Amino acid sequence: MTDTEVPNSTPQRRIDDSELQDISAVFEDIRNTIGKFIVGNDRLVELVFISLLSEGHILIEGFPGTAKTTCAKIVSALADCEFKRMQCAVDIQPADIIGIHTWDQEKKEFRMRKGPIFSNIFLIDEINRLSPKSQSAFLEAMSECQATVDGIRFDISKPFFAIATQNPFEKESIFPLSESQRDRFMFSIQTRHLEGEEERELIRREQEGFLNPEKFIGALSPILTRHKILQLIDSTTRVHAEPHMQEYIKDIVMATRFHGDIYLGSSSRGSIALLRGAKAYAALENRSYIIPDDVKKIAPYAIQHRIILTREAEFSGVTIPQVMQEIIESVEVP
């Protein structure tokens, strides 16, 4: 047996048409429901669902008032799972996130008081307001779906899906995420301001009284259950990636490590994120296999937050999206 062979490997059953239709139907329900309240940001809604199918976490960056938190809240309301939210602040400690052992006076023993991270869907609002010490409390949970308190490991029930938001344009009282922390997010996306017609539609909905988030979210009926999410995740893993598509993903990731304008290229987590995201996107397109366009669509969201430009490139006005687009266009398509 060679080093590259996998022992006792068995062919994986491919996703079938009924499973593909199921995924598409659920996504359409979610997109239509969110579209009743949120104007624009179709790509954000799509990527949040892809993250959920990929068993990954998503970092949503953008200006205030671009529906980052509202979108996360609506998705959580549509999933009949345990949902918790943390509004981040400088004084929050790791114990506030993962929990702490407290003394039970009646039973004369220590009991674990679990923090909000022990949930199925966890919204981390303004994550860059946390100190580096508190940010690190997420690392183990996001990578291994577990948390360790006082040397004792506690599993987090699946699915575990973290949605973090931040405003990258603020400069005061914030702590930029470290490379290792950003790498734990499978995808990242930057929200945008609405275009003119979208802004007009937003104003119309406000005038008609349709933009009350508490009223809207409170009236929602769940579309997904915990069991259904796990079922959709399992189906998505069985979307097929031919060897030449695996090679294509590898070439894109390797290109980030040897590009002249990049100081730090993508980690191997980028390869995994790109493969899983391409599979989920293919499933949304009703395909049981991935094609180059799937990889191209997902690559910016899976890779951009994992690379750092050289100082020379930054001083020259080069941006990460520009470099990423150059890589996608330069790597040979199979």
Q: What is the pLDDT along the chain (334 residues), one digit of tens a residue?
A: 455 555 555 567 888 889 999 999 999 999 998 888 888 888 888 999 999 999 999 999 887 777 777 888 888 888 888 888 898 988 999 889 998 888 878 777 788 888 899 999 899 999 999 988 888 888 888 888 888 888 888 899 889 999 999 887 777 778 888 888 899 999 999 888 888 888 998 899 888 888 887 788 888 888 888 899 999 999 999 999 999 999 999 999 999 999 999 999 999 999 999 999 999 999 999 999 999 999 999 999 999 999 999 999 999 999 999 999 999 999 999 8
Q: Taking the mean position of all CA atoms in its chain, how far away is CA 252?
A: 20
- How high is the pLDDT of residue 239? 95
Other beta carbons within 10 angstroms of residue 270's beta carbon come to 24
- Backbone φ, ψ for residue 80 (5° rounding): -80, 65
Query: What residues does each domain of the chain span?
Result: 11-238, 240-334
Strands 109-114 and 146-149: unpaired
- Backbone φ, ψ for residue 151 (5° rounding): 80, 0
What is 240-334's CATH number?
Answer: 1.10.8.80
- How high is the pLDDT of residue 8? 52
Question: Is the Cβ–Cβ distance between 44 and 147 less than 8 Å?
Answer: no
* CA-CA-CA-CA torsion sign (87, 92, 95, 98): positive
- How high is the pLDDT of residue 1? 46
CA distances from 106 to 111, 112, 273 (A): 11, 15, 48
Q: How far apart are CA 191 and CA 120, in angstroms?
A: 24
Residues in the chain: 334
What is 11-238's CATH number?
Answer: 3.40.50.300
Question: Is the Cβ–Cβ distance between 140 and 99 less than 8 Å?
Answer: no
Q: What is the pTM for the complete model shown?
A: 0.89
Provide the 3-class DSSP secondary structure of residue 331.
coil
| Residue 22 structure tokens | 């199921």
Q: For residue 256, how many C-alpha atoms fall within 13 Å in the half-sphere facing its CB?
A: 27
